[in-house]
């Protein structure tokens, strides 16, 4: 028999008297930190480095200078549970923060400068703050932020986060001397395991050096080993420009928020000032579909009229494509530069696809293929994936780029096997809304529009690789033949010398046979692995 609702349950408490509790954003991620990548000391060690480095890269790029980032990690003590008490410090040459900005930027979850329609590495203002929050809840120690803009006083604050209120707690404020240059430095303690996270951390920094070739990154690990990733260029991609929302990229909730925030008097004025690329004609056609007069006061819109306007925006098919100036792709030159710097291949070719759209959001796909050099066969597909210049290291086989690579018949391009040849593939997507498949944001969903651009990009690069391999293999084949002919001509030359007393030049005979393109081919030892019939 089921208990009645008035039956005492769970220690005598009445179900109808259960307390409804409200928690802050910081408290939510404190209780569910696995969502943000802090589910265990190993993953947390990698995630902390990643989030703080990305904050520093964003700060430097916003300042318009090539990033210079110094990371130091120390092992303070060994803990009984097998993890370590770690200390991390990171310093950058970014835009710098004022005394008022420091507590809000680092002491409050979901406080960010990224809540705009513009490409950025992060979105929610969560990662860097969550890295510090994780350190606080695992060590009960405060963190320290030092920052300044060029020519201003240096402010150093020792802080903690009030988890229940999602508010910063400034324990100590210090004002130091005048800053000669803008910078931000962060120091935090946390529970981690560098020994087990080391491979991922170094791989992350290595891939960051590929996709940000204009950055200087130095990392001193707990063992005192220095990893240096110097920049190879001062050239930076252009900064993205902020833009209005595209009408195809809004949902009903966002539409209502835009209406509440708008200063327009009429509905037509609202459409023209709140969305990109809507003029008089387009606004009139949308309002005609919605059945709303163009001069209707915006504040007088009823709920059903807002729904009708939303449906009209969704059904109207004559909108111009979204503005792609909100994006900042790396570009063919910089992508190739980064690959050459770190992998030193014999061949590399990158392509930037034209802007495309999915769900009203513009995106650009960049692909590249590198071959030979320091790249060695790995027995698996060597695929480097990036989203808004962030390396993606987990769940590779679930990514759209991996699925596309597996579906291409590479033998058409002179590649016997991706797993058995010295070849590496690169995929980079930039967008105001990356189509991640999961909350963990480690792999891209197989959105048809993205899938198509990835395949076209890979095939374009593969055609260039095919031409390169044809020239290389043709030259190798001619070299092998030249070696065999050299042996034959030496015998002929000896016979002619015995008959005529004059020895013909073997080199002249080879030139007559193979042409000037392979002058001197076949000299040296035989590396052909055996004679050909």
List of domains in the chain: 25-229 (3.30.565.10), 247-315 (1.10.8.50), 326-468 (3.30.230.10), 471-518 (no CATH)
Residue stretches of the annotated binding site: 55, 92, 113-114, 441
Residue in the structure block whose two tokens are 């290389």: 472
Residue 454, pLDDT score: 97
What number of other Cβ atoms are within 10 A of residue 133's Cβ?
27
What number of other Cβ atoms are within 10 A of residue 365's Cβ?
29
371, 462 Cβ separation under 8 angstroms: no
Residue 245 phi/psi, 5° resolution?
-70, 150
pLDDT, one tens digit per residue, over 384-419 is 999 999 999 988 999 999 999 999 999 999 998 999
Residue 332, pLDDT score: 96
Q: Which residues pair with 423 in a beta bridge?
A: 371
324, 364 Cβ separation under 8 angstroms: yes
What number of other Cβ atoms are within 10 A of residue 351's Cβ?
20
Question: Average pLDDT, whole number, for the chain?
Answer: 85
Residue stretches of the annotated binding site for ATP: 55, 92, 113-114, 441
The answer for residues whose C-beta is within 8 angstroms of residue 67's C-beta and 6 or more apart is 56, 57, 60, 61, 92, 93, 94, 212, 214, 215, 216, 217
172, 148 Cβ separation under 8 angstroms: no
| Residue 531 pLDDT exceeds 80 | no
Residue 471, pLDDT score: 85
pTM for this structure? 0.79
49-53, 178-182, 318-322, 461-465: which has the minimum mean pLDDT?
318-322
Residue 521, pLDDT score: 45
The answer for residues whose C-beta is within 8 angstroms of residue 214's C-beta and 6 or more apart is 66, 67, 231, 232, 233, 234, 235, 236, 334
Q: How far apart are CA 358 and CA 432, in angstroms?
A: 11
pLDDT, one tens digit per residue, over 15-58 is 455 566 666 666 666 676 666 667 889 989 999 999 999 999 99
What is the secondary structure of 251-266 as a DSSP string? -HHHHHHHHHH---SB
The answer for residues whose C-beta is within 8 angstroms of residue 137's C-beta and 6 or more apart is 30, 33, 163
The model's confidence at residue 246, banded by pLDDT at 50, 70 and 90, is confident
| Residue 494 pLDDT exceeds 80 | no
CA nearest neighbour of 178 among 154, 200, 198, 146: 154
Token code pair at residue 151 = 């020519």
Q: Return the higher-pLDDT residue of 490 and 181.
A: 181
């Amino acid at each position: 028999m089921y208990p009645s609702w008035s039956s005492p349950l769970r220690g005598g408490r009445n179900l109808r008297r259960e307390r409804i509790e409200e928690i802050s954003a910081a408290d939510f991620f404190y209780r569910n930190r696995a969502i943000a990548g802090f589910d265990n000391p190993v993953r947390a060690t990698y995630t902390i480095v990643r989030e703080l480095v990305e904050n520093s890269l964003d700060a430097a790029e916003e300042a318009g200078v090539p990033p210079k980032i110094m990371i130091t990690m120390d092992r303070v003590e060994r803990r009984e549970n097998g993890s370590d008490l770690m200390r991390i410090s990171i310093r950058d040459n970014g835009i710098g923060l004022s005394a008022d900005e420091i507590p809000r930027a680092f002491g409050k979850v979901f406080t960010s400068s990224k809540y705009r329609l513009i490409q950025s590495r992060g979105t929610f203002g969560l990662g860097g703050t969550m890295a510090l929050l994780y350190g606080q809840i695992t060590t009960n120690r405060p963190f320290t932020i030092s920052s300044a803009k060029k020519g201003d006083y240096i402010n150093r604050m020792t802080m903690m986060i009030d988890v229940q209120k999602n508010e910063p707690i400034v324990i100590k404020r210090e004002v130091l001397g005048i800053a000669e240059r803008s910078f931000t430095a962060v120091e935090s303690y946390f529970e981690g395991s560098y020994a087990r996270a080391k491979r991922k951390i170094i791989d992350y920094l290595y891939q960051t050096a590929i996709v940000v070739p204009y950055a200087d990154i130095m990392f001193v690990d707990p063992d005192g080993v220095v990893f240096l990733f110097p920049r190879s260029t001062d050239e930076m991609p252009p900064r993205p420009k902020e833009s209005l929302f595209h009408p195809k990229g809004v949902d009903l909730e966002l539409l209502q928020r835009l209406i509440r925030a708008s200063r327009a008097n009429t509905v037509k004025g609202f459409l023209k000032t709140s969305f990109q690329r809507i003029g008089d004609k387009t606004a009139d056609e949308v309002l005609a579909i919605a059945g709303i007069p163009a001069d209707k006061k915006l504040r007088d819109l009823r709920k059903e009229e807002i729904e009708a306007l939303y449906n009209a925006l969704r059904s109207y098919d004559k909108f111009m494509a979204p503005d792609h100036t909100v994006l900042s792709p790396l570009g063919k030159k910089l992508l190739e530069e980064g690959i050459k710097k770190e992998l030193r291949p014999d061949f590399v070719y990158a392509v930037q696809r034209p802007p495309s759209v999915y769900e009203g959001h513009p995106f650009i796909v960049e692909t590249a293929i590198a071959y030979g050099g320091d790249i060695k066969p790995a027995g698996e597909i060597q695929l480097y994936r990036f989203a808004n210049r962030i390396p993606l290291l987990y769940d590779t086989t679930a990514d759209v780029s991996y699925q596309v690579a597996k579906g291409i018949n590479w033998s058409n391009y002179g590649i016997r096997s991706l797993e058995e040849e010295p070849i590496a593939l690169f995929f980079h997507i930039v967008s105001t809304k990356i189509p991640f498949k999961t909350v963990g944001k480690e792999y891209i969903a197989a959105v048809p529009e993205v899938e198509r651009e990835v395949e076209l990009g890979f095939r374009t690069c593969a055609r260039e690789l095919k031409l390169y391999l044809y020239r290389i293999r043709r030259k190798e084949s001619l070299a092998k033949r030249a070696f065999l002919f050299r042996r034959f001509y030496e015998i002929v030359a000896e016979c002619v010398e015995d008959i005529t007393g004059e020895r013909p030049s073997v080199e002249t005979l080879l030139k007559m046979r193979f042409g000037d393109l392979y002058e001197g081919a076949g000299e040296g030892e035989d590396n052909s692995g055996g004679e050909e019939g």
